[in-house]
Structure 1
Amino acid sequence: MTDPRPVLVVTSLYDPTADVVIRELHDRGVPVVRLDSGDFPASLSVEAEISEYGVQGRLMTPSRTADLANIRALYYRRPSGFAFPHLDEQDARFAVTQARYGLGGVLASLPGCLYVNHPHRIGDAEFKPAELAAAVQAGFLVPPTLITSDPDAARAFVKKNDAVIYKPLSNPVYLVDGVSSVVKVAEVRAEDIDDGVASTAHLFQRRIRKAADVRVTVIGSKMFCVRIDSDLLDWRTDYSRLRYTPVEPPPRIEPALHHYMAHFGLVFGAFDFCIDEDGQWWFLECNPSGQWYWLEPETGLPMLAALADLLEKDT
């Protein structure tokens, strides 16, 4: 008999990766309720009662209703933010806070639910300093890194290392002439650093002279490693120049991956490594909400099935 408990998919309206996951679950007969928390309260409502019986109630979209006590799994992708444009600035700030801690708190408190990933664990894992420190603890090789707002410290770090790159600690979208843009990874020299560094925190990291990149996607107990060959400093800047090859990781990588995932309480992670000229794998980052599906058509790796298996299984 088909299990009637739905998978809750929390993401924005335009999310092709969520689309293929939902289609796969539908093909398996697994019910799905899709919602964007940013639709609250205009077209999403919540009723949650907390008592000695736990969290009970329902979430309602224009087309679906989800019983809060009966959610099989929650696939948390990239929902849009709360917005109250009809309110003045002060009231909107209050309303956003109430929505975040109210609806957001309910979504984070579902009983007996498998989270892929839990939104609080995603938040913890997105802090770059914590991410890099956890990677060192897990046993990965991590390039020497400086986080600073001191221009002199930045210049000294650049001079001490043969080659250094700058990376944003987080990468919000900027509109440049109406086009969405992000701050790119770039190599820096000591003379490039001016007193503007003092305006906020910056991340500088020794550049690894790489032979290739690797994307490792961990889905539950399974991992999928893909070597990415290109001549780019950051392969994400031009997908048309990439070549993909499934690879096996060095022996020390798999236990380090599991250690890292357990540290943050994750069941999904998109890891980026670079391989140096000696074949050593260097940890660059892990995105707990990273993209992954584009690699399946390129490599034939059964990543969609692995994720659907994880969401479908009886917890």
Structure 2
Amino acid sequence: MDGRPVLVCTEFEDATADLVIAELNRRRVPVLRFDPGRDFPAHVLLAAHLGADGWGGRLTVGDRTADLSAVRALYHRRPSPYPTGSGEQAARFAAQENRRGLGGVLGALPGCLYLSHPQAIARAEYKPAQLSAALRTGLTVPPTLITNDPGEAKAFCAAQPTIYKPLHAGAYEIEGEPAGIWAAPVEAGEIDAAVSRSGHLFQAQVPKVADVRAVVVGEEVFGARITAPPGVVDWRAEYQNLTYERVSCPEEIGGALVRFLATFGLKFGAFDFAVTADGTWWFLECNPNGQWAWLEGAAGLPITLAIADLLENGASQHE
């Protein structure tokens, strides 16, 4: 593969990554796309050598080969998880070696810009860390309780209108069908001993008039105001009934978002805010690898171009 390639790590079907790859192809930037968790070792050949300047060698996917020392950027989009090796002992051992071998090399490439580094994404997925970082960077955060104590939960819910939301948006099924666990109102009378079975996140319900998703790429901030039907707490449960418009992010908010990403070593973040009638933007959460493609057309946000710019320029322009 001629030139300095961009590695794109994502699952087989990823329309969001497709947009970025098409733009990089238009710019004649070489791209090598693969899914580490599924393609290695059957369809990917790794030969990494450690030298004075760090890791070099080659990564081959099919009939295309990338020079590891020349990778300009790695776009960590939505790769499949590395297999856990749940079978016999030898299979478990091999699965861990694959993850730490290929994953370790990909996370230690010299002169490579990461959008974003997989370890940085993993750190930023913890909501308690997000909420404290948001406060430190100057964002407004609703009162929040994380507990497994039913008494604490009941008292918190009795003190103000409250919502519950999961600490991790993992896979969940109801009667064999995939389902989402959305943020939902909860009252003190609904709290029972089941709270003691796991950690729970309760948060004061903000009397919002709209939501905003702010997508940050490097230091560029793109905002979309999202209006849901009256009474909807979590707009993600009402995609078919939403309206969007492009919105400018207040300067002080934009600066705080860039500082937030720097706290975790991220180059990208999809932030969710609740906006109240007085114009206050209340920080709810940040998805360090969140979706954005549907907003590009709905609100006219040139996010594909911003991501392609970052990947094309690589680390030399941004580190």
Pair in the same fold by TM > 0.5: yes
Contact 1:146 1:203 in 2 (8 A): yes
Percent pairwise identity: 51
1:175 Cα deviation from its structure 2 partner: 2.8
Question: SS where residue 252 of structure 1 aligns?
Answer: helix
Find 2:174's aligned residue among 173, 176, 179: 176
1:62-112 CA-to-partner distances (Å, cap 9, x unmatched) read 242221111011000111012277x72433332332222211111110100
CA distance in 1, matches of 2:310, 2:274: 28
* Greater alpha carbon shift after TM alignment, 181-190 vs 130-139: 181-190
Contact 1:83 1:92 in 2 (8 A): no
What residue number does 2:78 align with?
A: 78
1:197 Cα deviation from its structure 2 partner: 1.2
- The amino acid across from 1:169 in the alignment is L
Q: Give me the TM-score of the superposition, normalised by structure 2.
A: 0.93
Question: SS where residue 122 of structure 2 aligns?
Answer: helix
Alignment of 1:144-293 (within 5 A): 144-161=143-160, 163-231=161-229, 232-293=232-293
Q: 1:212 to 1:84 in 2, by over 3 A?
A: closer
Question: SS where residue 32 of structure 2 aligns?
Answer: strand
> How many pairs are equivalent?
312
1:267-299 CA-to-partner distances (Å, cap 9, x unmatched) read 111111010122110001111101111111112
Could you list the structure 1 runs, at least 4 aligned residues long, displaced by more than 6 angstroms after superposition.
Answer: none
CA distance in 2, matches of 1:164, 1:285: 16
What residue number does 1:113 align with?
A: 112
Contact 1:44 1:62 in 2 (8 A): yes
What residue number does 2:24 align with?
A: 25
Alignment of 1:52-63 (within 5 A): 52-63=52-63
Q: Give me the TM-score of the superposition, normalised by structure 1.
A: 0.94
Question: SS where residue 57 of structure 1 aligns?
Answer: strand
* Greater alpha carbon shift after TM alignment, 113-122 vs 152-161: 152-161
1:128 Cα deviation from its structure 2 partner: 0.5
CA distance in 2, matches of 1:184, 1:136: 24
1:57 Cα deviation from its structure 2 partner: 1.6
- The amino acid across from 2:135 in the alignment is V
Contact 1:244 1:298 in 2 (8 A): yes
CA distance in 1, matches of 2:91, 2:298: 44
